[in-house]
Structure 1
Amino acid sequence: MTTKTVQAHPHAIAAREERRAEALAMGIDEPFIAELVDRFYASVREDAMLGPVFDARVDDWPKHLGQMNRFWQSILLSAGNFTGNPMMKHLAIPTIGQEHFQQWLRLFYQTLHAIAPSPEAVAHVGAKARMIAESLLTGIWVHRDKGDPLARKVELPDV
């Protein structure tokens, strides 16, 4: 049996490299992402609303933080080193709703504003975080709640 290696198209590689270069020019790099993840999740763990949600599901914080670092590296630096299914993880939480994503974003933005290397980084990373929150919330409404996402108004804070 032979294994076929799939190589990325040169255009896709160039686009990934361009996104990475743009992020690096804003000061978004691996050390920034690691600090963002560590500080943000420290505030999440202390939060009255979100702390219990995470405490009930995360039993190995170093492992979770590593996974979140890889997630954000993939989102912000096109690293491609994240494997997982965030939607399924969130769908499995029966009580999670819009108010949780609102608080998640508030804490994320606080952390981002405190440590971001540039105003461009705040805008870029904040927009990515909001897009992710909106996507997860919409997926929950459609798949878990069996609702029509067009019948509901997404109300999430902006950076």
Structure 2
Amino acid sequence: MTARTVQAHPHAIAAREERRAEAIAMGIDEAFIAALVDRFYGAVREDASLGPIFDARIDDWPKHLGQMNRFWQSILLSAGNFTGNPMMKHLAIPTIGQAHFQQWLRLFYQTLHDIAPTPEAISHIGAKARMIAESLLTGIWVHRDRDDPLTRKVELPDV
């Protein structure tokens, strides 16, 4: 049996390159993402509510930060270099809930406001972060808590 190489369609490649160029124009590049991830997760580790959750699950912070760098590069630069399943990781945390995502976003937004290169970058990245938090929270309600998400109100801060 031989492995088959799947090649992206030229339109998909062009769209990915366009998203990357738009991000670069806002000042979002690999160096900025690395600084964002390092500073943000430094704040998370010091946070009274989030720090213990992360400390209980992460025993190799450099490895985790590398994974988060690849995640945000994929989200913000269409890098395609992230592999993993964030939903499954979050579903495995029995106590995580809306208040944790609210705090996660507050810290993330504060970090963005502190170091983002442009106002457009703040808006763009902040919207992506909120979308991710809302998706994970809704997934937790549906898959872990077996709740109907239509009966719950997502209350997350905006950037």
What TM-score does the superposition give when structure 1 sets the normalisation length? Answer: 0.99
Q: How far did residue 2 of structure 1 move? A: 2.2
- The letter of the residue matching 2:65 is L
Which residue is equivalent to 2:144?
144
Are 1:124 and 2:124 counterparts?
A: yes
Which residue is equivalent to 1:19?
19
The Cα offsets for residues 46-87 of structure 1, whole Å up to 9 and x where unpaired, read as 000000000000000000000000000000000000000000
- The letter of the residue matching 2:135 is S
Which residue is equivalent to 1:40?
40
Superposition pairs for residues 8-87 of structure 1, below 5 Å?
Answer: 8-87=8-87
Q: How far did residue 140 of structure 1 move? A: 0.1
- The letter of the residue matching 1:116 is A
Q: How far did residue 3 of structure 1 move? A: 1.9
What TM-score does the superposition give when structure 2 sets the normalisation length? Answer: 0.99
- The letter of the residue matching 1:155 is E
Runs of 4+ off more than 4 Å: none
* In structure 1, distance between residues paired with 2:67 and 2:53: 17
Q: State how many pairs are aligned.
A: 159
The Cα offsets for residues 93-135 of structure 1, whole Å up to 9 and x where unpaired, read as 0000000000000000000000000000000000000000000
* In structure 2, distance between residues paired with 1:26 and 1:115: 13
- The letter of the residue matching 2:17 is E
Which residue is equivalent to 2:115?
115
Q: How far did residue 4 of structure 1 move? A: 1.2
Which residue is equivalent to 1:90?
90
Structure 2: gaps spanning 5 or more residues = none
- The letter of the residue matching 1:93 is I
- The letter of the residue matching 1:123 is S
Identity %: 88
Helix, strand or coil at the partner of 1:81 = coil
Structure 1: gaps spanning 5 or more residues = none
- The letter of the residue matching 1:148 is D
* In structure 2, distance between residues paired with 1:61 and 1:4: 35
Superposition CA RMSD, Å = 0.4
Which residue is equivalent to 1:7?
7
